[in-house]
Every structure is written in structure tokens, then in C-alpha cells.
């Protein structure tokens, strides 16, 4: 009997998928792990997927809003992200000193020494979840019956990896409900089912599983068990590496309860603290899952899938 070391075999499978994507020109490599360019074909798949998701969500009559990939550090502060995921966060630093310090920086750079010590963290951070800048705009009372928002944008997570499914910079399309607690729970459950149907209709073999987020440190381990115990977050996973891995999350449906709404002072029409739920699709991950399942040659994909995606 041959014993396969699953760690090594999984790493090899990830590297092979990455190489295949680079060779096919679908992704364009860079000097940093998890930072890629995307080809026109890759973007066409992603845009088709985005149309399918937008059509799926049409009955929600969601209010569409778009935010840049950075947002105010004061709002980041209120999300508590630095407490739970310090290792994934990114603060934008820039140069705020004078001529003398600039000369010192240049001298250090000339000598091949580190120059980033002359930079100072600015008042903006990279957006980690595209719903965070949204919550920051909703302070105050919501309309009766709550509201649903459609948010699409770039997220940053500092998790460099050789796995092409794990990027440092990627897009999320989220459909976010804010309203009363019962509405938030019902929304999560209903739209989780709709998401499963929609992804399956594109040929993706998705499974819904309870999520355990990579909360940092000892306090983080307690948050993981609470998340699992209270069934707060469900992920939709696709087996990308066969039996070597339990599957990669391409989307998630998350009951935030009042975690962010309380921090941002968002209240229902009755004046109670609102609850929120969000349905988030990882746009690159779902595109990559389509390429994994249907093959890297889009021309040979099932006709029905191509027509749904406008390819
Ligand atoms: P989360 O807020 O962690 O549930 O993330 C929402 C979705 O974004 C996930 O379901 C993934 O599809 C996607 N995602 C999260 N982290 C990454 C990453 N490092 N690279 C690519 N996609 C990601
Ligand atoms: Zn969200």
C-alpha cells in the first residue's frame, strides 16, 4: 500500500492548478503570492456570473451601491476586524514628513536598506469585506421593513498562498439585509437556498457547510466555537482538489446579528438595534470553480452554461 502524504499531494494539486491557469493565460502571475492579473476570458466569465447573480437577486429590489477598495480607518475601528483578524488586515501607509526625512528615506533606499520605516499609517485601510463600508453609511433609522443592498467591490486579505483559490485581492458581490432580527434570519435562510440553486444551475457541485472563520489567537478560538454552535455562518463549498481537501468556499451566508449594526448605530424603524445578514459571493473563486469543473477551454463548456453566462 502506498501512503500519500495529503499535505504534499494537496500542495502539488494546488500548484498544478495554478500552473495550468498561468499557462492558459487566464491568470497573469506577479512577484507576490495571491496577486494576479486576469485575462479578458477570465473577466468575461466573471461578468457573466455577475449578471446571473444580479438576475437571481432581482426580486430583492436591492439598492445598488459601490465603494472603493479602501475606506476610513475610523469605520474599520468600529468593525472590530483588528481584534479578530489582525493577520488579514491592511493599513495604507504613506509619507507625511518633510524634505529631510525624504532625503533619509532616499539614502536608505540607495543603500538597499528598508525605507518603509519613514512611512506613517494613513487614515484609510484596505476593505476586507465589502459590506463594511456600507454599514458605515447606514447610521440612524432604517425604513419600515428594513432594506436590502447590493454591493460589489474589491476586498483585501493578507493571506499569501500558492493556492490560486486564495488571493490577497479579489472581488465580492454581496446582498446585504438590514432590518429586524426575524427578517435577518429569514433572509439568510431563504437566500442561502436561492444561492445554492443558482450555483448548481451553472453546474457547480456546491455543498452548504457550517463555517469556521480563521479568528486570530486564543480569544479567536472562542469566537469560532460560538460561530459553529449558533450556526451563524454557512459556506457554499466546491471540491476543487478532489478528495485531498474538504472543498473551497465560493460563497457564504452570514447572520451578523447585531455585531456590526450595533457598532454603527443602525436602528430599525421602531428604534431597536437592527440585525443584518449578508450573502457574499467570491467572484474570482466562483469563476475559478467554473474553470475547474468545466475545464480551462471555455469553448468546450456545456452550451447551456455558456449561454447563461453570455460566453
Ligand atoms: P467571507 O467574508 O470570508 O465569507 O468571504 C466571502 C467570500 O469571499 C468567500 O465565500 C470566498 O468566496 C471569497 N474569499 C474569501 N477569502 C478569499 C481569498 N483569500 N481569495 C479569494 N476569495 C476569497
Ligand atoms: Zn458581508
pLDDT at 223: 75
89, 127, 170, 195: which to mutate for ligand 1, most atoms within 8 A of CB? 170
Tell me which residue has its CA closest to atom 8 in ligand 1: 282
Per-residue pLDDT tens digits for 146-164: 999 999 999 999 999 999 9
pLDDT band at 4 (very low <50, low <70, confident <90, very high): low
Q: How far is the CA of 129 from the centre of ligand 2 (A)?
A: 6
**231 vs 264, higher pLDDT:** 264
Q: Nearest ligand, CA of residue 155?
A: 1
Q: How far is the CA of 159 from the centre of ligand 1 (A)?
A: 11
Average pLDDT over residues 240-259: 94
Ramachandran quadrant class, 80 (left: phi over 0; alpha: psi -120 to 50; beta: rest): left
β-strand partners of 250? none
Average pLDDT over residues 77-97: 96
pLDDT at 1: 46
161, 224, 285: which to mutate for ligand 1, most atoms within 8 A of CB? 285
Tell me which residue has its CA closest to atom 13 in ligand 1: 282
In this predicted structure, the answer to whether residue 100 has a pLDDT above a threshold of 60 is yes
Is any ligand 1 atom within 6 A of the Cβ of residue 131? Answer: no
**308 vs 214, higher pLDDT:** 308
Contact 171, 151 (CB under 8 A): no
* Angle made by CA atoms 247, 211, 51, in degrees to the nearest 5: 70
Is any ligand 1 atom within 6 A of the Cβ of residue 49? Answer: no
Q: Which residues are CB-contacts of 139 (< 8 A; sequence separation ≥ 6)?
A: 264, 265, 266
Is any ligand 1 atom within 6 A of the Cβ of residue 280? Answer: yes
Is any ligand 1 atom within 6 A of the Cβ of residue 247? Answer: no
Average pLDDT over residues 285-303: 98
pLDDT at 120: 98
Average pLDDT over residues 7-20: 94
pTM confidence score: 0.95
pLDDT at 197: 98
Q: Which residues are CB-contacts of 258 (< 8 A; sequence separation ≥ 6)?
A: 181, 273, 274, 275, 276
CA atoms within 13 A on the CB side of 108: 13
Tell me which residue has its CA closest to atom 23 in ligand 1: 282
Q: Nearest ligand, CA of residue 279?
A: 2
90, 171, 250, 252: which to mutate for ligand 1, most atoms within 8 A of CB? 252
pLDDT at 215: 80
pLDDT at 3: 56
pLDDT at 222: 72
Average pLDDT over residues 76-93: 96
Is any ligand 1 atom within 6 A of the Cβ of residue 249? Answer: yes
In this predicted structure, the answer to whether residue 295 has a pLDDT above a threshold of 80 is yes
What number does the ligand 1 atom closest to the CA of 172 have?
8
- What is each CA distance from 272 to 146, 179, 257, 262, 267, in whole angstroms? 12, 9, 13, 10, 5
Amino acid at each position: 500500500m502506498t501512503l500519500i502524504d495529503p499535505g504534499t499531494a494537496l500542495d502539488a494539486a494546488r500548484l498544478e492548478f495554478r500552473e495550468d491557469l498561468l499557462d492558459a493565460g487566464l491568470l497573469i502571475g506577479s512577484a507576490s503570492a495571491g496577486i494576479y492579473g486576469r485575462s479578458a476570458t477570465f473577466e468575461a466569465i466573471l461578468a457573466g456570473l455577475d449578471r446571473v447573480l444580479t438576475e437571481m437577486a432581482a426580486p430583492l429590489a436591492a439598492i445598488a451601491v459601490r465603494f472603493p477598495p479602501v475606506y476610513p480607518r475610523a469605520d474599520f475601528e468600529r468593525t472590530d476586524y483588528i481584534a479578530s483578524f489582525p493577520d488579514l488586515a491592511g493599513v495604507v501607509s504613506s509619507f507625511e514628513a518633510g524634505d529631510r526625512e525624504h532625503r533619509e528615506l532616499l539614502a536608505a533606499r540607495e543603500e538597499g536598506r528598508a525605507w518603509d520605516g519613514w512611512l506613517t499609517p494613513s487614515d484609510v485601510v484596505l476593505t476586507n469585506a465589502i459590506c463594511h463600508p456600507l454599514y458605515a453609511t447606514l447610521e440612524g433609522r432604517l425604513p419600515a421593513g428594513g432594506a436590502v443592498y447590493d454591493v460589489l467591490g474589491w476586498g483585501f486579505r493578507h493571506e499569501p498562498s500558492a493556492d490560486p483559490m486564495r488571493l490577497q485581492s479579489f472581488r465580492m458581490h454581496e446582498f446585504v439585509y438590514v432590518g429586524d432580527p426575524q427578517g435577518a434570519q429569514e433572509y439568510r435562510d431563504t437566500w442561502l437556498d436561492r444561492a445554492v440553486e443558482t450555483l448548481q444551475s451553472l453546474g457547480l457541485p456546491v455543498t452548504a457547510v457550517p463555517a469556521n472563520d480563521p479568528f486570530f489567537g486564543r480569544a479567536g478560538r472562542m469566537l469560532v466555537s460560538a460561530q459553529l454552535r449558533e450556526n451563524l455562518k454557512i459556506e457554499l463549498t466546491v471540491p476543487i482538489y478532489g478528495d485531498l481537501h474538504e472543498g473551497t468556499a465560493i460563497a457564504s451566508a452570514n447572520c451578523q446579528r447585531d455585531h456590526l449594526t450595533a457598532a454603527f448605530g443602525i436602528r430599525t424603524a421602531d428604534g431597536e438595534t437592527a440585525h443584518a445578514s449578508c450573502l457574499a459571493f467570491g467572484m474570482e473563486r466562483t469563476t475559478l470553480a467554473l474553470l475547474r469543473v468545466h475545464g480551462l477551454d471555455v469553448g468546450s463548456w456545456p452550451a447551456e452554461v455558456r449561454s447563461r453566462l453570455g460566453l
